[in-house]
C-alpha cells in the first residue's frame, strides 16, 4: 500500500475543497492511502474513509515565510507532512502551501539524495504540438546556480522525463538568450562545456525562451531565477490570451453563435494549456517524492498532483535517482 502525506491547509480554497480531490482519488485507486494533515473539522468528507488517517495540526504556514519562521512552525500541516516523509511514515507528500516553506522543509528535513548537490523544481509545460510536453527546471527552488548544479539538473530532468514519458534518451537543452555556444550567463556557458562532454546525457545545446515550447524539446535546464521568470511570463501571457479570447466570444449574440461553431478547436486549446493536468511541480533531487501543487488548487487540481506523487512512488523514482547519482 502506497502512503502519501497531504498538507490539507495550503490551498487558498481550503481543506474542504482539497478533500474532494482526495476522496475522488481514493475511489479510483485501491492501493493508496493518505495521511491528511490539518483541521479535522474542515475535512468531514474524509472522516469515514478507511484509507485516510486525519492528523490534527494547529498551525498553517503563511504563503510568505522565512526559513527560520517555517522551522519553528513544528505543528503546521506542512511541517508535519514533510516530517512524515522524513520519518518514512509516508513515501511522498503533496502540498499547495508556501513555496519557500516547502523548499526549506524538504531540504532541511527530508534532505537531498546523496550525490545531488541541489534540488530543482521541475514541471511540465504544454507545447505547440498537441500532447507533447516539455519538462523545465529549475523553476525557482534557487535563484543562482553553479555550473555543477545545472549539470545535476540536466541529469535529474533526463531521468524525470524518461520516467514520465517513457522516452529513452530525452533531448536536453540549456535555456539561454541565444542558440550559439557562447551565449548566456557564465554559469550556463560552463555547464554547456561539461554537458557536451557527458555521454550519459543527450545534450543538444542552447534554446531561446521563444522556442522552448515549440514541441521539439524534451527537457530544458535553467538556473532558478530566470527559470522562474520563464514560468511566470509564460503563465501571464497564457492568462492574458485566455481572458481576451473569452471576452471576444462574449461580445454579443453573434459572437456567441460564432463560439458554438468553433468550440471544439478552442476546447483543444484550453486542454493544451490546462496546467492542472501537469500535476504541479516535483522538487527533484529530494530523498522522497515531494510535489508542490498550485496555491489556489481545487480538488481536481490536487487529484492530478496526488496522481503524480502516486506514480513516482509506485515506480520508485527516488530509488532510480539514487542509483544514478551513486558515487561510483
Would you tell me which residues interact with a copy of itself (CB under 8 A)? 64, 127-128, 140, 143-144, 175, 177-178, 180, 184-185, 208-214, 222, 225-226, 228-241, 243-245, 247-249, 251, 254-255, 257-262, 264-266, 268-269, 272
Min CB(261)–a copy of itself separation in Å: 3
Min CB(297)–a copy of itself separation in Å: 16
Tell me the C-alpha distance between 42 and 60, whole Å: 13
Min CB(125)–a copy of itself separation in Å: 10
Tell me the C-alpha distance between 216 and 246, whole Å: 29
Beta bridge partners of 203: 172
Cell, residue 323: 542509483
Nearer residue to a copy of itself within complex by CB, 12 or 241: 241
CA 203 to chain centre: 23
Nearer residue to a copy of itself within complex by CB, 115 or 215: 215
Nearer residue to a copy of itself within complex by CB, 162 or 225: 225
Tell me the C-alpha distance between 193 and 205, whole Å: 10
Nearer residue to a copy of itself within complex by CB, 148 or 187: 187
Min CB(158)–a copy of itself separation in Å: 22
Vertex 214 angle, CA 209 and 217, to 5°: 85
Beta bridge partners of 94: 6, 291
Nearer residue to a copy of itself within complex by CB, 86 or 292: 292
* 52-56 β-sheet, strand order: 52-56, 32-38, 2-7, 92-95, 289-292, 281-284, 120-126, 133-137, 219-221, 171-176, 202-208
Min CB(86)–a copy of itself separation in Å: 26
Nearer residue to a copy of itself within complex by CB, 184 or 299: 184
Tell me the C-alpha distance between 23 and 41, whole Å: 16
Nearer residue to a copy of itself within complex by CB, 72 or 251: 251
Tell me the C-alpha distance between 13 and 271, whole Å: 22
Q: Evaluate whether 290 touches 70 at the Cβ level (below 8 Å).
A: no
Taking the alpha carbons at both ends of the chain, their separation in whole angstroms is 32
Min CB(202)–a copy of itself separation in Å: 22
Min CB(173)–a copy of itself separation in Å: 14
Amino acid at each position: 500500500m502506497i502512503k502519501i502525506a497531504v498538507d490539507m491547509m495550503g490551498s487558498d480554497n481550503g481543506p474542504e475543497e482539497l478533500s474532494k480531490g482526495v476522496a475522488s482519488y481514493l475511489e479510483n485507486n485501491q492501493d493508496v492511502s493518505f495521511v491528511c494533515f490539518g483541521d479535522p473539522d474542515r475535512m468531514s468528507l474524509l472522516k469515514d474513509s478507511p484509507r485516510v488517517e486525519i492528523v490534527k495540526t494547529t498551525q498553517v504556514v503563511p504563503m510568505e515565510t522565512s526559513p527560520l519562521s517555517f522551522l519553528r512552525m513544528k505543528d503546521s500541516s506542512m511541517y508535519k507532512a514533510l516530517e512524515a516523509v522524513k520519518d518514512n511514515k509516508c513515501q511522498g507528500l503533496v502540498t499547495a502551501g508556501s513555496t519557500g516553506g516547502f523548499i526549506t522543509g524538504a531540504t532541511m528535513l527530508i534532505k537531498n539524495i546523496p550525490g545531488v548537490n541541489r534540488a530543482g523544481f521541475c514541471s511540465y509545460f504544454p507545447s505547440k504540438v498537441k500532447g507533447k510536453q516539455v519538462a523545465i527546471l529549475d523553476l525557482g527552488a534557487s535563484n543562482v546556480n553553479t555550473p555543477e548544479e545545472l549539470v545535476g539538473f540536466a541529469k535529474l530532468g533526463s531521468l524525470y522525463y524518461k520516467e514520465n514519458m517513457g522516452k529513452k534518451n530525452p533531448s536536453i537543452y540549456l535555456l539561454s538568450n541565444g542558440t550559439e555556444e557562447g551565449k548566456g550567463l557564465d554559469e550556463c556557458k560552463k555547464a554547456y562545456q561539461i554537458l557536451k562532454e557527458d555521454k550519459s546525457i543527450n545534450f543538444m545545446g542552447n534554446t531561446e525562451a521563444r522556442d522552448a515550447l515549440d514541441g521539439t524539446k524534451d527537457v530544458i535546464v535553467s538556473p532558478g531565477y530566470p527559470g522562474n521568470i520563464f514560468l511566470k511570463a509564460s503563465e501571464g501571457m497564457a492568462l492574458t490570451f485566455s481572458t481576451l479570447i473569452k471576452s471576444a466570444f462574449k461580445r454579443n449574440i453573434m459572437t456567441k453563435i460564432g463560439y458554438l461553431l468553433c468550440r471544439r478547436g478552442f476546447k483543444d486549446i484550453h486542454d493544451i494549456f490546462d496546467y492542472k493536468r501537469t500535476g504541479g511541480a516535483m522538487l527533484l533531487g529530494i530523498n522522497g517524492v515531494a510535489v508542490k501543487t498550485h496555491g489556489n488548487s481545487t480538488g481536481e487540481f490536487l487529484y492530478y498532483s496526488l496522481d503524480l506523487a502516486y506514480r513516482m512512488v509506485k515506480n520508485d523514482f527516488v530509488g532510480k535517482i539514487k542509483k544514478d547519482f551513486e558515487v561510483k
